Amino acid sequence: MIYSLSSFQFDPETGPKRRIMVGKDSQPKGFENRYDFNTLFYDVVYVPSRSSVVLHCPKLLNFKSILRGATLTGDGKKLGRPRIRLLRRCDEVWIKVAGPISRLQIEGSEISVGLSVNSNLPDFADRRVMVTRSKDNPLDWIEAWVRFHIKHQGVDAILFIDNGSTAYTPEALHKCLSNIDGLESIGVVPAPFRYGGSNTGKLKHLTKFFQSSFLNLVKDRFLAQAAGVLWHDVDELIVSQSGTVFDEAAASKLGYITIPGFWRYAGAVEGRIPNHADHIYRKDPEATCKEKYCLIPNRWAARGTWDVHGIRRYMFNGLVKSSNSRFLHCANLSNSWKRDRSIKSVAAMQIDPATQALFAK
């Protein structure tokens, strides 16, 4: 299914703009073209377990006063003052309600909008769900990536956050996923918002609001009843010595494991872009990358904030690192949207026999 969002953005020409979190000296070239000045919230979701409606937002900053000064009504009945939860790279606005509501109205000096309230959905209940964010990754990469994890990790559902792809439509992406045997539930969420850019300060990723907010959005709207959730990217392949990462997460005390990553590189290919199976080279010693994770949503640890490389501000990451599983990060499987990841020389590298044997299958 293709799911719509109840989002709100101020007019980029006439509306208020989000304050930039960092000074001019910390803004690299092109920073303002990537920064989200206009989005107030990405979605409005009813969360029955908390008798609340939640607005998932980028960092609100100067927008907090707009929401605090607004009048909120649900299905025509006035609601109480919202509670704003300030997080590291995103914020949440929680509004208590007596029961489910279908429409939220926000009226204030700088905003007047009525939006549908999306339900907390059971569509992924009891599924082993793979979640990713992607923009313009070729469909054959996506198909190969999904098939690999169905075979090697027992994935039977996918929730795909499409961050404004222009190379294909959400319908084409959904059709691609629907043609893959083994998926019991498929969700595509079109999300054409600014991703955010790194700044040059000490906390260089704080202005990337999108990904952190969407992880918590899908947690509240789609994944509360999932059997397990695996979060990673299309250029990352999860490999386990035995069983699956879902098994490991379910068996762990916290219901949560982190998965260490190792870079793999492609040699030269003729007349085409590289694919996953070309990535059989490694450096010596191994080049590592930041971990990804798998969790069980109904366990205690998963009830905290989710982020790109872990949950609960990464406080348990080192304690729950898997010794059974890892992921291979395919360096040249990229459209280089963040930095140049085209093929470089592998002369100083070596073929990794285990990776070569895996991909030969």
Whole domain around residue 28: which residue ranges?
A: 8-116
pLDDT given for residue 341 in this prediction: 67
Residue 271 covered by a domain: yes
Do residues 39 and 145 both lie within one domain?
no
Please compute the mean of the pLDDT values over residues 174-187 and round it to a whole number. Answer: 98
pLDDT given for residue 229 in this prediction: 98
Residue 204 covered by a domain: no
Do residues 165 and 106 both lie within one domain?
no
pLDDT given for residue 268 in this prediction: 82
Do residues 153 and 261 both lie within one domain?
yes
**Mean of pLDDT over the chain:** 95
| Whole-angstrom distance, CA of residue 39 vs CA of residue 42 | 7
CA distances from 131 to 149, 187, 232, 263 (A): 12, 9, 7, 21
Do residues 296 and 267 both lie within one domain?
yes
Do residues 325 and 279 both lie within one domain?
yes
pLDDT given for residue 10 in this prediction: 98
Please compute the mean of the pLDDT values over residues 86-92 and round it to a whole number. Answer: 95
Report residue 120: phi and psi, to 5°. -75, 110
Q: pLDDT tens, 151-169?
A: 999 999 999 999 999 999 9
Per the rule left: phi > 0, alpha: psi between -120 and 50, beta: everything else, 89 is: alpha
Residue 196 covered by a domain: no
Residue 173 covered by a domain: yes
**pLDDT beyond 80 at 340:** no
| Whole-angstrom distance, CA of residue 293 vs CA of residue 306 | 10
| Terminal alpha carbon distance of the chain | 32
Last residue of a domain, one of 83, 116, 149: 116
Min mean pLDDT across 19-28, 139-148, 287-296, 332-341 is at 332-341
Residue 312 covered by a domain: yes
Do residues 89 and 153 both lie within one domain?
no
Q: pLDDT tens, 185-235?
A: 999 999 999 999 888 877 778 899 999 999 999 999 999 999 999 999 999
Residue 200 covered by a domain: no
Do residues 22 and 137 both lie within one domain?
no
**pLDDT beyond 60 at 337:** no
Residue with tokens 């709207």: 221
Residue 310 covered by a domain: yes
Please compute the mean of the pLDDT values over residues 314-322 and round it to a whole number. Answer: 95
Q: What is the DSSP letter of 118?
A: B
The CATH number given to whatever domain includes residue 176 is: 3.90.550
Number of domains the chain is built from: 2
Please compute the mean of the pLDDT values over residues 268-290 and round it to a whole number. Answer: 92
Do residues 109 and 146 both lie within one domain?
no
Do residues 236 and 108 both lie within one domain?
no
Last residue of a domain, one of 86, 116, 146: 116
Do residues 179 and 283 both lie within one domain?
yes
Residue 152 covered by a domain: yes
pLDDT given for residue 251 in this prediction: 98
Q: How confident is the model at residue 338 (pLDDT cuts 50, 70, 90)?
A: low
Last residue of a domain, one of 95, 116, 137: 116
Do residues 50 and 136 both lie within one domain?
no
The CATH number given to whatever domain includes residue 62 is: 2.60.40
**pLDDT beyond 80 at 326:** yes
pLDDT given for residue 24 in this prediction: 87
- Token readout for 249 is 């997460």
What b/e string do you get for 1-40 counting C-beta neighbours within 10 Å, with b at 16 or more?
eebebbbbebeeeeebebebebeeebbeeebeeebbbbbb
Do residues 299 and 169 both lie within one domain?
yes
- Token readout for 261 is 């990553």
